[in-house]
């Protein structure tokens, strides 16, 4: 079992739909990151959070430390949101700042 | 600098050759990370530095892989005696200590 698991692996939506991507992890963490990987390959950090909820534009990230679960929501999805979304955790143990990544969720938003 | 830069962006090499991949982090970022990403998979941690000190190299797959950051800025990831299984995207990221990580564009390595 991977330390970080994402679901779904693939997601297809129609423009305007509300989207949720889930991330579960099995280790103690000090922070969780949501990243976006564009079709061209570049990776952009969307959120870093250790508790509660963060919002940036149409993106919302939540984390429940007790349940070891995080969700990334996209409201009013748009074709330009099509990308791979990756969850990564920074361990709270002595391994320092290394990130452990999920496999990613491929999102396709159709017009 | 404006962002993390990596060079070369693409590298094709013959099996058995050594390669050196360079990462130039964002100015002022203390931490520098190296990751490897196979096609269709998430990145995999290789190693990271705080300043010039290599803090964790547990992700390096074997002793053909090494990394250095001698002056606490630019870093080089070296792969000796390359093998076909080393073909992947190698990504560098930098951050303030335990801060948000900013990723470079990656070096696509192909070993033939």
Tokens (6 digits) for A21: 């991507």
* Shortest CA distance from A104: residue in chain B: B42
DSSP state letter for A38: -
Question: Which residues on chain B are in Cβ contact (under 8 Å) with A103?
Answer: 41-42
Judge whether residue B78 has pLDDT over 60: yes
DSSP letter string over A43-98?
EEEEEEESSEEEEETTEEEEEETTTTEEEEEESS--GGG-EEEEEEEEESSTTTT-
A10-67 pLDDT tens trace: 999 999 999 999 999 998 888 999 999 987 778 999 999 999 999 999 999 999 999 9
Question: How far off is chain B from A53, nearest CA to CA, in Å?
Answer: 16
State the Cα–Cα distance between residues A18 and B93, nearest whole angstrom: 31
For residue A96, what pLDDT is reported?
57
For residue A30, what pLDDT is reported?
87
For residue B104, what pLDDT is reported?
94
B18-63 pLDDT tens trace: 999 999 999 999 999 999 998 888 899 999 999 999 998 999 999 9
Judge whether residue A1 has pLDDT over 80: no
For residue A89, what pLDDT is reported?
93
β-strand pairing of A83-91 with A105-110:
antiparallel
Interface test with A, best of B4, B33, B37, B42 (most A CBs within 10 A): B42
Q: List, in sequence order, every residue forming a beta bridge with A3; answer none if it has no partner.
A: none
């Amino acid at each position: 079992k991977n330390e970080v698991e994402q679901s779904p692996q693939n997601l297809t939506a129609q423009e305007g739909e509300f989207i949720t991507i889930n991330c579960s992890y099995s280790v103690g963490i000090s922070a969780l990151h949501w990243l976006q990987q564009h079709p061209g390959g570049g990776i952009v950090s969307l959120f870093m959070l250790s508790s509660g909820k963060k919002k940036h534009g149409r993106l919302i990230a939540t984390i429940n430390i007790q349940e070891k679960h995080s969700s990334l929501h996209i409201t009013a999805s748009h074709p330009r949101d099509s990308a791979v979304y990756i969850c990564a955790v920074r361990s709270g143990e002595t391994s320092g700042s290394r990130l452990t990544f999920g496999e990613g969720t491929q999102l396709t938003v159709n017009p | 600098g404006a962002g993390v830069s990596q060079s070369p962006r693409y590298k094709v090499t013959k099996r058995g050759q050594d390669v050196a991949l360079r990462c130039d982090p964002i100015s002022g970022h203390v931490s520098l990370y190296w990751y490897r990403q196979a096609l269709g998979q998430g990145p995999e941690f290789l190693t990271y530095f705080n300043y010039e000190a290599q803090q964790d190299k547990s992700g390096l797959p074997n002793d053909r892989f090494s990394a250095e950051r001698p002056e606490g800025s630019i870093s080089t990831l070296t792969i000796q005696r390359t093998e076909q299984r080393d073909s992947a995207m190698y990504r560098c990221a930098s951050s303030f200590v335990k801060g948000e990580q900013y990723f470079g564009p990656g070096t696509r390595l192909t070993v033939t």
